[in-house]
Amino acid sequence: MKLFIDSAELSEIEAAAKTGLIDGVTTNPSLVAKAGVPFEKLLLRICELIDGPISAEVTTLTAPEMIAQGKQLAKLHKNIVVKLPLTWEGLKTCSALSAEGIRTNVTLCFSEVQAMMAAKAGATYISPFVGRLDDIGQDGMGLIRGIRQVYDNYGYETRILVASIRHVDHMRQSVLAGGDVGTLPYKVFQQLLSHPLTDSGLARFMKDWETMKG
């Protein structure tokens, strides 16, 4: 499974990159606005930190505008993946950019049918938001299982990029459900290895070792 960082904070991306375990980055307009660095400058800096797919979202709403903006973003760096909303205009854009060999990430997916439509439009990645579904009392992880089944049934090659991950158990369930990529806030990434038995086990090993030496 690939691991992406869901962040536009350069310090977080840099720290995560140092582990050698990060395969890519996803950003969205809210994260970019929070980071406060001009968009293109930020993307280029992220591309220096991680050599993998970097999702950059369009901020326009019609297909002609999204196509123009998507092409401009894709030109910035070979690793840029153009992120598009799951709307008719977004999917028209997805088909057009895919036909030109530009990679896409279709975002704000909340149903299996939406995911099937994005795959038909040639999306490289589909981003189902599990946390936001859980927030409204629906089954976020059930959606991942459903999309996995749809894509396997029909042989779609679109990658399932599990998004809106809020905690480590979302990650555990994503792995079991057959997600292709998990994109994680830095805070959740840091928690991935935490287990009380790992901590107590290591403390015991060290103590026993010191006792033997003594």
Residue positions annotated with a catalytic role? 83
* Distance (Å, whole) CA 155 – CA 37: 40
Tell whether residue 7 is a contact of ligand E4P (CB under 6 A).
Answer: no
In angstroms, give the least distance from the CB of 175 to ligand E4P. Answer: 17
Which tokens belong to 52? Answer: 């993998």
Residue 132 binds ligand E4P (CB under 6 A): yes
Q: 3-state class of 187 per DSSP?
A: helix
163 contacts ligand E4P (rule: CB under 6 A): yes
Whole-angstrom Cα distance, residue 139 to residue 148?
15
Stretch that binds ligand E4P, among 124-132, 144-152, 192-200, 203-211 (CB under 6 A): 124-132
Shortest distance, position 143 Cβ to ligand E4P, whole Å = 13
CB of 188 to ligand E4P, least distance (A): 10
- Does residue 13 touch ligand E4P according to CB under 6 A? no
User: Which residue, 1 or 203, is less far from ligand E4P as judged by CB?
Assistant: 1
DSSP secondary structure code for residue 127 in this structure: E
Rounded Cα distance between 60 and 9, Å, is 23
CA distance 39 to 27: 10
Binding mask 88-117 for ligand E4P (x = CB under 6 A): -------------------x----------
Which tokens in the block code for residue 97?
């950019």
Quick one: tokens of 106? 């279709």
Q: Which residues pair with 3 in a beta bridge?
A: 182
For ligand E4P, the binding residues (CB under 6 A) are 6, 26, 28, 107, 127, 129, 131-132, 163-164, 183
